[in-house]
Structure 1
């Protein structure tokens, strides 16, 4: 869609009906065809409008009265606006002696040899050719006398003062208008001088002959005065009487000429009888000028039937004249037949005329060839025009060597420009829809015998080649403009691809252009063309649909690549524990499917179902794989961008016993971005949600809209997400488990404790409680992010803790009886409390750790059970936190 037209100036801005108005503004149309509406003060004036350029239109005002806007409507920009107004008024008459807001066409005041020599005839109302200003605003004559004493503003006066004249008649006229008036006055004076001189130059011989004749006449008259006296008429009277006498004597000669008169009379009778034959040349000329060719043909056939075997010389002469005019008429009709544009009915009528006149032309075939050449020539003109426009756009755009963009910054103003290749396809589709049906109709009339012409051998093959060539040329121009990669190298050189817009802009235009090509295809189908011709356009449509689908996929892929995480977790609604990233991805897929469904999947008459084509199937599989890969990369990139400045104030530890409390968030930070461990959990939750829910919804969406089976691609995407989940989980465990496990050993031997010391046990050791609290912290963190991750993450942490305890127990060199009781109570407490999240490996490690500890007697075993009972009672809340919910 182009820019809206704006009217910024009118010249003049007022006048009566019939005023010639110059309309100036911006975006007033790209061509005369683009101008579809013009109203002046609410009156439609389109019929009188003359489009000059995108900034100028000339029109004639209609029967308007009062002020109103001048509104211009264009096909490309729509209904425009007006910054000025035009005032219409009605006056009785306008002449050279009456003031008017418009220029009045004045007759030449100086006509050679016919003008009056009175001074008033040399005086014009306005020598400068400008509008006379309002008399009420003129400068008083007394004031002018002060500036120009003994002067006046009368042009014919000896005291004429130019300054007086300008102040009196043009005191408010601009300097530019005065300059234009001066040029007008000089041109007038020069024209008058040139008119007199040119007349004398052109007739100098005749003037000199006239002067010589007058001189000779005068000399002879003066010479005859002595001879004939002052009364020459007396001798003239005598001569007349003598002539009368001699004439009477000649009466006898009349009788002698009687015989000759009889012969003449007979000749006149013949002329009268055969007047039709002798007058026919003039009648033919007169009817040809009128365009009454039927009358000419009827008269010619009638004459041929009557006189074609005559031997009379005068009749043969008349027939020769008629034949000359008929030959000229045949040439004229043949030229008119091949002059485009012309309707099929007009061509048929001209062919009938030529057939009846027995013209030596194959007129019907010439008409077919003329139409074919006209279509190809119009294609070439459209292509050359838009190719030149494309070069102009490339030169006018800053940084034209860079990638084409829909909007270019020119003088800090963004202007939307429709690319030349888009306009070319649009115009070439309209052109072939207008011209090709006529070519097909005239061809069918020729071969069906409707035109009553002789059909030479081989014409059908030649006509088929002609039609196929037009269709192939049309398709190649469209391909060169939209999908040049589908053309061969020679065709690219011949049809010359234009500058292609970028992908996002092409996605905007391509669906509409696809509809244009579809409309053209529908026109061809209605003409009942053979399948061989229709298949060419059908293949073009298929390639355009695949290309359009590919561009929509690519655009969606780029949009997905630009996705960012806002880290806001959804705690309510249908999908909990995830951010908006997966749903945004799903929304892109839904928009993608809707766009493809509206523009590509629609199958009209005689079109191939898109996904029955193997190339289309491969393309959609490729593009869907790219989309899923792009989203996988987004998740992978989010899981790989660790914020190493997070702990710049000091490395946090998770041991409360060594002096630093557990911290799950940045201390004193006001950032909305969570810490690295939380981000990993969020990404892990999103990956799990995408794998288990979103991808299945994507597959269902494609199935619902009749896309081909994409289960393999979806399954592959799930496998990659599963690998990504494992990678993210390993990172989280590395970030969470390693510090947690690393604090067990220092906390175990805190206060110089050792397992061989005889310290009576009465409770589990503090490192066990700390370990449980740390696991509760991890449990809380996971629950806070996404409860669905609990069974995937916490068992891995418990397994790491169990493995570390087994290692530490294995490293103890000696246990005292009390140390063995303490160790067994500690390991048993951890094993029981963490049983809900213990994997088989964790249980094995706990069991192996207990096996490392020396065996206890019955008394020590009872002591261990008592310690465990008291521990669970005191740590009832912790036990409930780590109890697995079914």
Structure 2
């Protein structure tokens, strides 16, 4: 319908307009010498043709608006959750419109540019130019709606194939897939919406306040939807029934299915993908938007950063909890293995096994995380150790009595943890562990004893193959 209207007006209206002008100027027919014959020939007056022209243009404007601008659009800032759901529920409509609307807009644009090039009334030109701008704005909204839909479903396109980046370690194709998708949509928007023929009266898109506002809202939605993709991936991963820590033999090769990955490995990959997105993809897209003239991007990115920080905390919390589960489940049982009793312990031989298990398990966690990204090692390990130290503090606070050997054993165990894992701790965690040591009865005496020092040095030497990895762990 719209294409037909455009074709008719583009081909027929200019000729009609020229004929009307000739008629009004009384140059359409051969001149007669007698004025009464001229008057009979040119009976119609200019206002009649003006009304005819107005009716044609208004009919065209109505047809276009009815067919292309009939949808009620809602901005995300004004949405209720139900309306937001409805936006994504109408996916079929959005997919259909994004296929046809840019083509229709271009046809209308060519038609309107042809009409406004004629010497028609200023009011008519204004109506046509207003229609054209509304079409461009609608086209922008539809393309961005489609982009948001595509982005919100990117979790289904995660292949788990790892690519290596020198700065941020291994990540999958997902962040770059998002980047390329946005670049493609931005190019389509630039071609169909942003380019303007100013000479023929088209307004620059971002000189309009409503357009600027809608663009900012659309970018905010787009970036926010990609953050939600990571939440969906984490949810899918967390529902897996695989073990938390598995052999790491597949961690350094190309992987094409999450079935070959441990749950924790998948979670770390998701976390690193998110870090890669924040550090590299978002700044690139901001530069892209600015190059295309988008305004208010600093504010949009400030608001987006709030979302991304919250999601980052959720991702890190999920990764931490997944790693922590086996630690917390076994900590107390390992501490009291063999019916150990702090009050009746009579001889200190070495660091207890529960400490060795903590160090060995953390070495495995370190290896798994390091295989993806060295920059995540301290972040994750420090979170795990913070919780572990808090749990140890609770367990030690429940001990009612220490024998002499029992208090030395406690000092030896905690100092061994401090020596092996201190570089992986936040300052607050390290200080809390040191404070816990000082609360052990006769701690000062035990710390100075040669027996404790000798056992500690022997333990550190034995654990060196495992603890050596922790020496290079530094805060990022």
> What TM-score range do you get, normalising by the shorter chain?
0.7 to 0.9
Alpha-carbon distance in structure 2 between the residues aligned to 1:859 and 1:787? 34
Q: CA deviation at 1:642?
A: 4.5
| Number of the residue aligned with 1:625 | 220
Q: 1:862 aligns with which of 430, 435, 450?
A: 450
| Number of the residue aligned with 1:876 | 464
Q: 2:375 aligns with which of 788, 796, 817?
A: 788
Q: CA deviation at 1:503?
A: 3.4
Q: Does 1:432 find its partner at 2:9?
A: yes
Partner SS for 2:241: helix
With over 3 angstroms needed to count, the CA separation of the structure-2 counterparts of 1:640 and 1:682, relative to structure 1, is same
Q: 2:356 aligns with which of 762, 765, 769?
A: 769
Alpha-carbon distance in structure 2 between the residues aligned to 1:427 and 1:860? 95
Q: Does 1:598 find its partner at 2:186?
A: no
Q: Deviations over 1:419-441 (max 9, x none)?
A: xxxxx222222211222223322
Q: 1:734 aligns with which of 305, 314, 321?
A: 321
Alpha-carbon distance in structure 1 between the residues aligned to 2:240 and 2:95? 38
| Number of the residue aligned with 2:434 | 847
Partner SS for 1:529: coil
Alpha-carbon distance in structure 1 between the residues aligned to 2:247 and 2:238? 15
Alpha-carbon distance in structure 2 between the residues aligned to 1:511 and 1:800? 55
Q: 1:444 aligns with which of 21, 24, 44?
A: 21
Alpha-carbon distance in structure 2 between the residues aligned to 1:512 and 1:861? 85
Alpha-carbon distance in structure 1 between the residues aligned to 2:220 and 2:52? 44
Q: 1:805 aligns with which of 387, 392, 395?
A: 392
Q: CA deviation at 1:696?
A: 1.6
Report if aligned partners of 2:216, 2:294 keep a CA contact under 8 Å in 1: no
Partner SS for 2:343: coil
Q: CA deviation at 1:885?
A: 4.0
| Number of the residue aligned with 1:589 | 182
| Number of the residue aligned with 2:105 | 514
Alpha-carbon distance in structure 2 between the residues aligned to 1:567 and 1:858? 51
Q: CA deviation at 1:645?
A: 5.9
Q: Deviations over 1:178-207 (max 9, x none)?
A: xxxxxxxxxxxxxxxxxxxxxxxxxxxxxx
TM-score (norm 1): 0.46
Q: 1:478 aligns with which of 34, 39, 64?
A: 64
1:144-223 matches, cutoff 5 A: none
Q: Does 1:553 find its partner at 2:130?
A: no
Q: CA deviation at 1:782?
A: 1.3
Alpha-carbon distance in structure 2 between the residues aligned to 1:475 and 1:432? 11
Alpha-carbon distance in structure 2 between the residues aligned to 1:582 and 1:866? 51
Alpha-carbon distance in structure 2 between the residues aligned to 1:673 and 1:715? 38
Report if aligned partners of 2:160, 2:258 keep a CA contact under 8 Å in 1: no
Q: CA deviation at 1:474?
A: 1.4
Report if aligned partners of 1:625, 1:713 keep a CA contact under 8 Å in 2: yes
Report if aligned partners of 2:165, 2:171 keep a CA contact under 8 Å in 1: no
1:58-97 matches, cutoff 5 A: none
How many correspondences in the alignment?
435
| Number of the residue aligned with 1:638 | 233
Alpha-carbon distance in structure 1 between the residues aligned to 2:460 and 2:143? 62
With over 3 angstroms needed to count, the CA separation of the structure-2 counterparts of 1:471 and 1:789, relative to structure 1, is same
Q: CA deviation at 1:700?
A: 1.0
Report if aligned partners of 1:677, 1:735 keep a CA contact under 8 Å in 2: yes
Alpha-carbon distance in structure 2 between the residues aligned to 1:575 and 1:767? 34
Q: CA deviation at 1:690?
A: 1.9
With over 3 angstroms needed to count, the CA separation of the structure-2 counterparts of 1:758 and 1:683, relative to structure 1, is closer
Report if aligned partners of 2:363, 2:467 keep a CA contact under 8 Å in 1: no
Alpha-carbon distance in structure 1 between the residues aligned to 2:233 and 2:145? 22
- Taking CA–CA contacts closer than 8 Å with sequence separation of 6 or more, which of the two structures ends up with the larger relative contact order? 2
Report if aligned partners of 1:837, 1:884 keep a CA contact under 8 Å in 2: no
With over 3 angstroms needed to count, the CA separation of the structure-2 counterparts of 1:769 and 1:436, relative to structure 1, is same
Alpha-carbon distance in structure 1 between the residues aligned to 2:194 and 2:239? 49
Alpha-carbon distance in structure 1 between the residues aligned to 2:390 and 2:317? 16
Partner SS for 1:883: helix
Alpha-carbon distance in structure 1 between the residues aligned to 2:448 and 2:168? 52
Report if aligned partners of 1:468, 1:533 keep a CA contact under 8 Å in 2: yes
| Number of the residue aligned with 2:85 | none
Q: CA deviation at 1:574?
A: 6.9
Q: CA deviation at 1:537?
A: 1.2
Alpha-carbon distance in structure 1 between the residues aligned to 2:328 and 2:110? 72
Q: CA deviation at 1:613?
A: 1.6
Q: 2:203 aligns with which of 608, 612, 621?
A: 608
| Number of the residue aligned with 2:48 | 462
Q: Deviations over 1:741-783 (max 9, x none)?
A: 3322211222232223353324222221111111111111211
Report if aligned partners of 1:806, 1:848 keep a CA contact under 8 Å in 2: no
Report if aligned partners of 2:129, 2:202 keep a CA contact under 8 Å in 1: yes
Alpha-carbon distance in structure 1 between the residues aligned to 2:289 and 2:239? 41
Alpha-carbon distance in structure 2 between the residues aligned to 1:581 and 1:607? 38
Q: CA deviation at 1:795?
A: 0.3
TM-score (norm 2): 0.83
1:250-261 matches, cutoff 5 A: none
Report if aligned partners of 2:171, 2:273 keep a CA contact under 8 Å in 1: yes
1:381-392 matches, cutoff 5 A: none
1:237-316 matches, cutoff 5 A: none
1:495-506 matches, cutoff 5 A: 502-506=93-97
Alpha-carbon distance in structure 1 between the residues aligned to 2:178 and 2:356? 44
With over 3 angstroms needed to count, the CA separation of the structure-2 counterparts of 1:860 and 1:575, relative to structure 1, is closer
Greater per-residue strand proportion: 1
| Number of the residue aligned with 1:778 | 365
| Number of the residue aligned with 1:527 | 118
Alpha-carbon distance in structure 1 between the residues aligned to 2:416 and 2:205? 66
Partner SS for 1:751: coil
Q: CA deviation at 1:870?
A: 2.1
Q: 1:830 aligns with which of 382, 404, 417?
A: 417
Greater per-residue helix proportion: 2
Q: Structure 1: which 5+ runs fail to align?
A: 1-423, 487-500, 654-661
Q: CA deviation at 1:683?
A: 1.9
Partner SS for 1:785: coil
Alpha-carbon distance in structure 1 between the residues aligned to 2:368 and 2:63? 63
Partner SS for 1:577: strand
Alpha-carbon distance in structure 2 between the residues aligned to 1:638 and 1:769? 34
Alpha-carbon distance in structure 1 between the residues aligned to 2:278 and 2:208? 30
Alpha-carbon distance in structure 2 between the residues aligned to 1:859 and 1:483? 79
CA RMSD of superposed structures (Å): 2.9
Q: Does 1:697 find its partner at 2:292?
A: no
| Number of the residue aligned with 2:75 | none
With over 3 angstroms needed to count, the CA separation of the structure-2 counterparts of 1:576 and 1:838, relative to structure 1, is closer
Alpha-carbon distance in structure 2 between the residues aligned to 1:551 and 1:568? 32
Q: Deviations over 1:526-549 (max 9, x none)?
A: 322232111111111111111212
Q: Deviations over 1:803-838 (max 9, x none)?
A: 222222222222222222221111111112111111
